[in-house]
Each structure stands twice: as C-alpha cells, then as structure tokens.
Amino acid sequence: KALSFYPDHPTFNYFMIISSVETSQYSEIENLIIYPDFLDDISIRLIEKRQYNLAEKVIEQSSYYYPGGENVINNCVGQITKLISNEIKAKNYEDALNMLDLIMFYNNQNPEFYRFKIELLIELKKFDEALVVVNEILKRRPKYPLLVFEAEPSNDNFGYEFYLQKARLLNILDRYEESIETINKVIKLNPKIASAYKIKTISFYYLHDYKNAIIQIDKAIELDPEKSLFLSIKADCSFKDHRLKEALEQIELALKLDSNIPENYRIKARILLFMNKHDESLRTINKGIKKFPENPDLHETKSLVIYGNHMESLKALEKAESLGGKVSLYNKAQLLNNLGRHEEALETIEIEINADPDRYSSYEMKAMILMEMEQFEEALKFNEKALNISGLSDRDSGCIKEQILCNYAVYLAENGDKEKGIEIAEEAVELSGPEWASDSYEAYGDIFMVYKEYQEALNKYEKAKKSHIPSIEINLKIGICQFELGNYEKALKFLETAKYQGEHTVLTQEIDKDGNRVQKSIAQKEIIEEASKYITKIKVINANKM
C-alpha cells in the first residue's frame, strides 16, 4: 500500500523485499529496487535461504556501488562466517559447501573461508578434494596465522595452520612419509607447535614405528604437559609397543588430568585386558559407559572385554552399532557363528566382503562359517580364495583348509560314507605333511572310532601323538582306545596323563605386580570328567579281579 504511493522509496522497497524473502515469494524480488544501503542484508538473507542465483545477482549489483569494485562478500565476512558456522553445527554440510562455492567465487583470499571448506570436505570424506584446497591456500597464506600480533612477525611467530592440515590429510590418505616430510618443514620453522609433534606421532604410529612415535609425543608433552590428549596418545603408543606397565601409568595420568575424554577409558580398558586384568578392565569400561552412555566406541570395546561371553559381547557390539558406531563386522560374524547363528553370521560377513572384497580374512571367516554349516565344499572354495588373495600357504594362514578337511572327513564317516571320509582324511594328512599332521591323523582316528574299529583308531592317534603339536585330547583318545581293546594298564597311564593335562596344560598369561608375564592354568572340565570316568571304570575292573 505504501509502495503504491511511493514506488521509489528505499525503505519501503527494502521492507517489501525482506517480506518476500521471509515468505519465500522470490519472484517478487526482481521487480523491486534494491538500494545500496540494503545490499548487504538482502544478499546474506538470500544466501541463508539458499537462493544462490538471486543472491548472485544482488552481489553482482553491489560491485557497481562499492568503491574499487568491492562487493558484499568482502564487506560481510563476519556475517557470512557465522552463517556457515551455523550450517556446520547443524551438520548441513552440502548446503554449507554450496554457500562457500558461491562466496569463494567472489572472495578467494580469506583464509577463514578455506578453513571452512577444508573442514566440510573432510566431513564429507572428500579427502583428495580437501588436499587440493589446502595446497591452493598454501600458495597464498603458507604461514597463517600470526600467533602474537604484538611480536615481530618472525618464522617462529606463525602457526602454519594449513601445513598442519595438509599433514593431517596426508595421514588420512595413508601417505605417512609425505605427512612427516610436511611436518618437518613446520618444526624447522617453529619448533614450539605442540600439535605438529602430535601429527608426526600419528604418522609413525600408523607406520608401526612406535618407538619414534613415543619420541615425538614426548616433545608435545614437554611443550604442553597438562594436555590429557597427549598423554593418552603416548599410552596408546606404549600399548602398541608392548610396554603395558608404562602405558597404564600414562593413561591413568591422562584420566587424572581430564576424566571427560571417552577415549581415555577405552584405552585404559584395552591395556588392562591385555594385562589379563579382566575385572579391572570391565570396571573401567563400565565406568566410561556410565559417564558417556551414547559413545559407540566404549560399547565396542566392552564387546572385546567380555568376548568370552558370546551373548553379552554381541549385545555390546549391537549397542555400538545402534549408536552409529562403525563396528568390526568380522568380530560380529565370529560371535554369531560361535552362538550357532550361522545364517546371520554368513549374512554379516558377506556385507564385509562386499565393502572390502580384497580383505582375505573375511573369506577365511566365511569359510569357517560354512564349515560350521556343514557346507564343506563351499568352505574349501572360499578358503582357496582367501589363500589366493593373501599369497599365504595354508599353514601360514592357520591351517584353515586342514581344519575344514578334518571336519569334512568325520562328517562323512558319521553319515555313512566311511570310504570318502578316509579319502578326505588322507588328503588332509598329505596337505600338512606327516610331521605336522596331528589334527589330520586325529580326525582319521575319529573316523575309525565312529565304526568302533579301535585298533585302527589307535594307530592313527599314535601317529597324531608323534606329530608336532598334538591336541590336548590325544592322550584321552588313546586311553579310551586302549580301554576298549582291554589294555587297562596302558589305558590307565594315558588317562591319568590326560586328566593331568586337563588340569594344567592349557595356560593363560597374566601380568604380575612388577609388570612381568606369568602363566596360569585353565582347567578343561570335559577332558577331566571323561578321563575320570574311564579311570573309575578301570579301578572297578581291577578291584573285581582282586
């Protein structure tokens, strides 16, 4: 109504434009007059509404009014920065990137805009593109920012932020040597940037050079001894270098400095787990979960801590998954397989294979699952694929093919095909070679046990015992054969040995108070009970003779 009386009035036109923008009636705007005083505000509003074509027209128009060809982008850096920050906080990464593309067309000098663009590309996992942007800004602002404005702008008074960002991106892209080379340039110019040593630590960490990683993080700690993150990184490096006692000391210091970092609980729990301090490890991870219940990494670590309890371990892994965590599908498939949920295990490992078809361990897991499903021919096929990808021999890969053949042989015998079972068992023996064929000879013996041919079974079991690394059950099986053949004295000897082995042979490692590894026996209940049963029978037979 006002415009009908005063069509050229600047303020009335401005109000009408703002009303049109806020009510999304963008077609009305082109018919209205935008006066210089309002170009900034209208441009920002149009960008915020993602009306980039209209915004571009207003920005172009502003170049005619500002002296020296300046435009609204140059004059509204603060507002634009806030606008993009809000989009990033809301995780509207694509929208923020589109805004930046428009803005940087008119202003490709501001380092803050480059910082945003790099951050957005990283969030979108476009790491190669982010590296291109980093290299572009490095040509313009290699030393940015100046750290202390009052001081003389010498080399050691600059932060080299984009060089640091470049090194981080090179690490993400697995180009660790290049990252170290980039960081070395920064350290040479300014040796007082603690984060430079942190980035260099990470490079060495992923190169598995943990000793050099510790040297670098020690330099970061020297510059900033109160930073919990540096201590937790050192703890992780020490852990990887098998310096468990030192790793535990460092992570406890990190937690003392800052108990609000979830990663610190995860690292401490893993260290304690490898020190076989399972109760302490579980208490630590539960404490972390209580404090940060929505942190998926803590739930995944709990899954590892309680791995022996397959059901609870799977629950923890699925909780991590439900919280958006990236979990090991290999571990999930293994847990499902252990729980007898073979179809789900197979489905899970196939997702992993589709995501990374060159990881041979996934094919090994698929072969093991198929073996449990008694699909032995398929299992052998996928094990062969794993060997082809890895280039390993069957023995180097854990003798999975031998395991499949052994299970296949006994399965055939149990299902009435003794001849085919013996053929498969002989193939397993030939695969391993007689000196290493303990499992194969044992399976061979198991075939004869199915048919109660105890002498033939005994012959194979004795060959298994003479091979390298016979199973803990071999003395029990020999003892049972001798018993069934009526050789009670010989049987007693092997059964007593089997019982003793069941009580003492299977060991675990623990760490004593001085940080030294010590071994502890784990009783094998089934072996002990079975051996005891036959020992009792022999004692009864001997008593009746008397």
CA dihedral 64, 70, 75, 81 (to 10 degrees): 110
CB-count burial class (<10 Å; 0-12, 13-18, 19+) for 512:
exposed
Claim to verify: residue 398 and residue 467 sit in the same structural domain:
yes
Specify the 3-state DSSP secondary structure of 513: coil
Specify the 3-state DSSP secondary structure of 487: coil
Q: Find all residues with CB under 8 Å of 539, minimum gap 6, and list them.
A: none
Given its phi and psi angles, is residue 110 left (phi above 0), alpha (psi -120 to 50 degrees) or beta?
A: beta
CATH of the domain at 404: 1.25.40.10
In the chain, the number of structural domains is 2
Residue 211 neighbours by CB distance under 10 Å: 10
Claim to verify: residue 457 and residue 443 sit in the same structural domain:
yes
Least trusted range by pLDDT, from 17-31, 238-252, 405-419, 527-541: 17-31
Cα(27)–Cα(68) distance, integer angstroms: 31
Cα(484)–Cα(456) distance, integer angstroms: 12
Residue 462 lies in a domain: yes
Query: How do residues 143-177 score in pLDDT, each as one tens digit?
Result: 999 887 777 778 888 899 999 999 999 999 999 99
Query: How do residues 410-425 score in pLDDT, each as one tens digit?
Result: 999 999 999 999 999 9
How high is the mean pLDDT of the chain? Answer: 90
* Amino acid at residue number 161: E
Cα(265)–Cα(283) distance, integer angstroms: 10
Claim to verify: residue 464 and residue 496 sit in the same structural domain:
no
Claim to verify: residue 476 and residue 505 sit in the same structural domain:
yes
Residue 524 lies in a domain: yes
Mean pLDDT, range 51-68, rounded to an integer? 72
pLDDT for res 157: 83
Tokens of 108: 């490709």
Question: Is the pLDDT score of 199 beyond 90?
Answer: yes
| Helix, strand, coil percentages for the chain (3-state, nearest 5) | 75, 0, 25
Residue 180 lies in a domain: no
Claim to verify: residue 436 and residue 467 sit in the same structural domain:
yes
Q: What is the DSSP letter of 111?
A: H
Residue 323 neighbours by CB distance under 10 Å: 16
Given its phi and psi angles, is residue 515 left (phi above 0), alpha (psi -120 to 50 degrees) or beta?
A: left
Cα within 13 Å of Cα(151), Cβ side: 9
Least trusted range by pLDDT, from 58-62, 183-187, 460-464, 493-497: 58-62
Residue 507 lies in a domain: yes
Q: Which helix (H) or strand (E) holds 457?
A: helix 454-466
Q: Find all residues with CB under 8 Å of 454, minimum gap 6, and list them.
A: 448, 481, 484, 485
Question: Is the pLDDT score of 511 beyond 50?
Answer: no
Claim to verify: residue 397 and residue 430 sit in the same structural domain:
yes
Claim to verify: residue 399 and residue 458 sit in the same structural domain:
yes
pLDDT for res 148: 78
Final residue in a domain of this structure, among 471, 504, 525? 471
Residue 273 lies in a domain: no
Q: Give the residue numbers spanning the domain of 447.
A: 393-471
Cα(16)–Cα(355) distance, integer angstroms: 54
Cα(295)–Cα(303) distance, integer angstroms: 13
Cα(335)–Cα(407) distance, integer angstroms: 20
Residue 452 lies in a domain: yes
Residue 443 lies in a domain: yes
Residue 476 lies in a domain: yes
Claim to verify: residue 515 and residue 479 sit in the same structural domain:
yes
> Nearest to residue 496, comparing CAs of 508, 510, 511, 478?
478
Final residue in a domain of this structure, among 451, 471, 491? 471
Residue that has been written with the tokens 């990881």 in this structure: 359
CB 276 within 8 A of CB 511: yes
Q: What is the DSSP letter of 507?
A: E
Final residue in a domain of this structure, among 420, 449, 471? 471
Question: Is the pLDDT score of 530 beyond 50?
Answer: yes
Claim to verify: residue 403 and residue 419 sit in the same structural domain:
yes
